[in-house]
């Protein structure tokens, strides 16, 4: 990866302010903290939930499990991608995983998020990006003229002023969305999505995404460096 950004904070307030910078005029959705994956804690998350984002530590154990899943699902994922049209992009900018997760969440719910400002990142991604390959989308995002600035403003709102762009981070964002009755994980580090449980509606999607995140967390249960954010309907 050549270009490098500041890491985006896993903070709903920061992400909600980021929505207008990405091009949503009056957002109909919002990001919310998720304080746990058990049913009693998920009950506090506003409904309906459209996407879930997980911040997790990148460890050898987690990376190995992902590689095994990608290999195991190779044929199934290939068929799924051929049959379903959705937005998945590779990540070519270092430390851009937060913005990539946000874009994956919004673009796969683009008809729910609110009206888009013409000439904005989301407007142009909807206009031309849906027909691109994942690698082409990554290049489009990397070269988009105003996205660097919008990402920088969001990062500076949420992180200390002295944070260095060269600081190494071993934390990573991934995104879960519902595509054609399947919980799908979109992580631009991987060449293709990961498939999780079947889900028939928004509520069963939330359950499926929660289970997928539990499985990830259980690979490194002693770590406390997890954070979960939901994209859901914006309250009045």
Q: Is 172 a catalytic residue?
A: yes
Q: Considering the candidates 104, 151, 172, 196, report the single residue annotated as catalytic.
A: 172
Residue 196 and residue 210 in contact, taking contact as beta carbons nearer than 8 Å: no
Neighbouring CB atoms inside 10 A of 76's CB total 10
Question: Coil, helix or strand for 172?
Answer: strand
Whole-Å CA distances, 180 to 86, 121, 124, 195: 9, 25, 24, 11
Whole-Å CA distances, 102 to 17, 164, 217, 231: 12, 22, 21, 9
Total number of residues shown for the chain: 236
Q: How far is CA 25 from the centre of its chain?
A: 20
Q: Is 199 a catalytic residue?
A: no
Residues 6+ apart with CB under 8 A from 68: none
Q: By C-alpha distance, which of 213, 207, 168 is closest to 56?
A: 213
CA distance linking residue 168 with residue 92, whole number of Å: 16
- Which residues are annotated as catalytic? 97, 172
């Amino acid at each position: 990866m050549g270009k490098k950004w500041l890491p985006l904070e896993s903070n709903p307030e920061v992400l909600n302010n980021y929505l207008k910078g990405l091009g949503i005029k009056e957002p109909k959705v919002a990001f919310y903290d998720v304080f746990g994956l058990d049913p009693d804690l998920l009950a506090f998350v506003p409904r309906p939930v459209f996407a879930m984002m997980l911040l997790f530590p990148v460890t050898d154990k987690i990376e190995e499990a992902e590689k095994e899943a990608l290999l195991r699902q190779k044929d199934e994922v290939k068929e799924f991608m051929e049959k379903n049209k959705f937005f998945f992009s590779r990540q070519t900018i270092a430390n851009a995983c937060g913005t990539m997760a946000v874009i994956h969440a919004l673009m796969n719910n683009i008809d729910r998020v609110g009206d888009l400002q013409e000439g904005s990142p989301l407007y142009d991604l909807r206009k031309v990006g849906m027909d691109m390959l994942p690698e082409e989308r990554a290049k489009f995002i990397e070269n988009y003229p105003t996205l660097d600035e919008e990402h920088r403003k969001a990062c500076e709102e949420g992180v200390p002023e002295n944070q260095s762009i060269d600081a190494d981070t071993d934390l990573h964002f991934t995104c879960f969305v519902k595509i054609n009755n399947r919980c799908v994980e979109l992580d631009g580090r991987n060449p293709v999505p990961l498939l999780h449980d079947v889900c028939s509606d928004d509520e069963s999607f939330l359950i499926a995404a929660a289970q997928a995140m539990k499985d990830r967390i259980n690979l490194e249960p002693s770590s406390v460096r997890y954070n979960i954010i939901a994209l859901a309907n914006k309250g009045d």
